Amino acid sequence: MATSIISTPMTNRSVSISWIKTIFPLMKQWLAKSRSRKQLASLPKHLLNDIGVSDREALIESERPFWD
């Protein structure tokens, strides 16, 4: 009677690790965008004027989704 052992290649694990290495930097970028936009929305008018951004432009930018 013969016994066979079947092993699966590590490709599934490699794909998982690759996915993690891709998604974490992307999530970090999304978080940074979200924080920046919240900070922009909280700036007073005189500081917006200093950086050359109108109230309306700041509002539009701050309402953009984090992935955009």
Question: Average per-residue pLDDT in the chain?
Answer: 88
Per-residue model confidence as pLDDT tens digits over 26-37: 999 999 999 999
- Tell me which residue of 27, 30, 52 sits closest to 40, measured CA to CA: 52
Residue 20 has pLDDT above 90, yes or no: no
31: which 2 tokens? 């978080």
Predicted pLDDT of residue 19: 85
pTM for the whole thing?
A: 0.67
